[in-house]
Amino acid sequence: MKNSNTLTYFTLALILVFFFPTEIFAQNIPQLQDFNQTRLDYNQKGMVILGSWAVGNIVWGGIGASQSTGQTKAFHQMNLYWNSVNLVIAGFGYWQATKETPGTDFWATMEAQQGIEKVLLFNGALDLAYIAGGLYMKERGLRKGNDRLIGFGKSIILQGAFLMVFDGVMYGFHQTHAKELPELVQNISLGPTGFSVRIAL
């Protein structure tokens, strides 16, 4: 019921903004700073997890590749290559999250929240594509008797599966966090200056 009420208030707020010349959500809402900080904290922790996975795979891949041959060597090599990219992404993502200042603007908050959820959903689709590509590479290697393709395919399947779980968990956290947004509009009244809204926080 609470989620239903929130959706109703949000829809009503949109109607007011689009159809009435008011400054309903032009003001900043101080309480949104904590909400945005939590979103940034999630992103920072996520990048630490991704970076730790990358470092572990780079070390494991380097040692494994130097001590093996055939498809096992190829498997470790791809783990090393793949996670070198992951480490760069994690480092940039962490830096970006630490540099962003948690704001108090309503629309900026909504845009940022929807933005991270869309990115994670898009990443999830890419993860499925990675797994499919790894399966194809492995199958092609088996048909051609190519150990390198088999090893690479197995590695990409593993990395895609990890990223799918990672992005899925991150999306779950962010989506749950979004439901903690306060009920947006509690009371709407008509005054001498037009419509006014009281934000319930």
Residue 26 maps to a domain: no
Domain presence at residue 14: no
The reported pLDDT for the residue numbered 182 is: 56
- When divided into structural domains, the chain yields a total of 1
End-to-end CA, the chain: 18
Residue 17 falls inside a structural domain: no
- At residue 103, the pLDDT reads 86
In this predicted structure, what is the pLDDT of residue 192? 45
Residue 171, domain extent: 2-8+31-98+108-198
In a domain? residue 23? no
Helix (H, G, I), strand (E, B) or coil at 25: coil
Decide if 25 is inside a domain.
no
> Has residue 84 been placed in a domain?
yes
Query: What is the block-wise mean pLDDT of the chain (201 residues), using blocks of 10 residues?
Result: 50 51 55 89 97 97 96 97 97 94 85 94 97 98 96 98 98 91 44 44 43
In a domain, 15, yes or no: no
Give the integer Cα–Cα distance in Å for 125 and 136: 17
Instruction: Give domain status of residue 119, yes or no.
Output: yes
Bridge partners (DSSP) of residue 99 are none
